[in-house]
Amino acid sequence: MSLENTTVNKSFDGWTKHFVHRSTTLNCDMRFAIYLPPQTDKGQRVPVLYWLSGLTCTDENFMHKAGAQRTAAALGIAIVAPDTSPRGEGVADADGYDLGQGAGFYVNATQAPWDRHYRMYDYVLTELPQLVEASFPVSDKRSIAGHSMGGHGALVLALRNPDRFRSVSAFSPISNPVDCPWGEKAFAAYLGKDTRAWADYDASMLMRKATAFVPALVDQGKADEFLEKQLRPEALEMAARSSGHPLTINYRDGYDHSYYFIASFIDDHLRFHSQHLTG
């Protein structure tokens, strides 16, 4: 599968690069960013942390704003950040920021017109790792993390595929999307009106019935404007207590939903993942 390299920037003796490729899963061109730590220049194959961004974001937000490269370089971890949805001419879209392009919700859509392109779950689970592992000096040791909509996606992918990911973390995840306005709008459009189909993409419902566990870390700002109405971390806590799932939730005084919050604690998340990727 051909890759078009669009940008290259040296960072902490490693490389931040952006690529475009044709996705057969999504039926369109897709972008992703990758940080390759300096160990890869010495012939070492390194583990990968997949980062899923939130509503309105692209493959650029995390790499530009999170400040993750310094610690990723020290730990020897590659980071891969895909775009948040299919895009381009002929790809379905909607008015507003919370549906359509930039708002893929990491599901496999079953409803027209979304089902032609919006299969972000399969893309992140299968196509993107296959491409990354075939094209770069990385191993098949994987963890996954994300923010907001991307935190929802990371938790769902890890909980449904505990054999594929060694750990999962999230900042301000949409924890119970079947019971919040963002999730209800997106799931009704992408998955249809039958709410029974929604359960496969709800982290709290999946964690409640989990029997195979992936270590999970969540950070949530207590000044987040979306905390009570959209994010509902208490549902995730209750699910973890019910199933015994290993979950740590840190509530951070004064922090909001922004990348200032992510940049403040991303090093903790990278060290958490490193323990499971290299320990």
pLDDT digits (tens, 9 = 90+) for 118-171: 999 999 999 999 999 999 999 999 999 999 999 999 999 999 999 999 999 999
- pLDDT, residue 2, reads 85
Average pLDDT, the chain: 97
Q: Is the entire prediction scored with pTM above 0.85? A: yes
pLDDT band of 186, cuts 50, 70, 90: very high
The token pair that represents 193 in the structure block: 């009106």
pLDDT at 184 over 80: yes
Tell how strand 138-147 and strand 216-221 pair up: unpaired
pLDDT at 1 over 70: no
- Kindly report the backbone phi and psi dihedral angles of residue 28, in degrees, each rounded to the nearest multiple of 5, phi listed first: -165, 170
- pLDDT, residue 279, reads 74
Contacts of 56 (CB under 8 A, 6+ apart): 84, 97, 102, 103
CB 59 within 8 A of CB 146: no
Ordered domains of the chain (ranges, CATH): 3-278 (3.40.50.1820)
pLDDT digits (tens, 9 = 90+) for 241-275: 999 999 999 999 999 999 999 999 999 999 999 99
CB 36 within 8 A of CB 15: yes
For the chain, the helix, strand and coil percentages under 3-state DSSP, each to the nearest 5: 40, 25, 35
**Which segments of the chain are extended strands (E)?**
3-11, 14-23, 28-36, 46-52, 78-82, 138-147, 168-171, 216-221, 247-252
Active site residues: 148, 224, 257
pLDDT at 72 over 90: yes
> Which percentage of the chain shows pLDDT scores above 90?
98
pLDDT (average), residues 168-197? 97
